[in-house]
């Protein structure tokens, strides 16, 4: 994987879990997924595409450069990864549109956006640079 991809993956720190944690076991419908409380998210699938349009599915549980657990703190406007690396990125904007929590940000010449359905916790996110994109899907819940 290219170094630029590795550098941005921590930025998203953004997004999420697999392996050892089952966020879906929490009941999203009974918890506030509107951004008023912190969220814990789990990545269930992800794909990386290069500028030529070639895409490769990634295994989120085995990806060496992508954080497996993300803590999204909307009130604090920050997304952090779990220990041991504890990386973080700032949430630049927060919106609630049509039952969805929409977060955006960016660093190091790359942008990202995340949408979380408030009723189910389903999440979709993307990281965009000039030479690649990363599509991420998962589930969020309150811890």
Phi, psi values for residue 119, rounded to 5°: -90, -25
pTM summary value? 0.77
CB of 118 within 8 A of CB of 106?
no
Number of Cβ within 10 Å of residue 55's Cβ equals: 14
Count of structural domains within the chain: 1
CB of 118 within 8 A of CB of 100?
yes
Number of Cβ within 10 Å of residue 38's Cβ equals: 16
Stretch 75-92: mean pLDDT = 86
pLDDT in tens, 15-70: 333 333 333 334 444 458 999 999 999 888 899 999 999 999 988 777 766 776 78
Domain range holding 28?
A: 3-141
Give the span between the Cα atoms of 96 and 86, in whole angstroms: 27
């Amino acid at each position: 994987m290219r170094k630029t991809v590795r550098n941005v993956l921590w930025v998203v720190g953004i997004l999420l879990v697999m392996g050892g944690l089952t966020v879906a076991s929490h009941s999203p419908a009974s918890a506030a997924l509107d951004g008023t409380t912190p969220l814990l998210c789990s990545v269930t699938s992800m794909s990386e595409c290069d500028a030529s349009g070639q895409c490769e599915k990634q295994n989120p549980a085995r990806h060496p450069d992508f954080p497996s657990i993300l803590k999204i703190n909307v009130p604090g406007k920050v997304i952090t990864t779990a220990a041991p690396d504890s990386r973080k990125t700032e949430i630049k904007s927060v919106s609630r549109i049509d039952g969805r929590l929409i977060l955006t940000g960016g660093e190091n010449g790359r942008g990202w956006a995340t949408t979380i359905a408030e009723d189910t916790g389903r999440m979709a996110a993307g990281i965009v640079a000039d030479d690649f994109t990363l599509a991420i899907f998962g589930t969020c819940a309150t811890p």
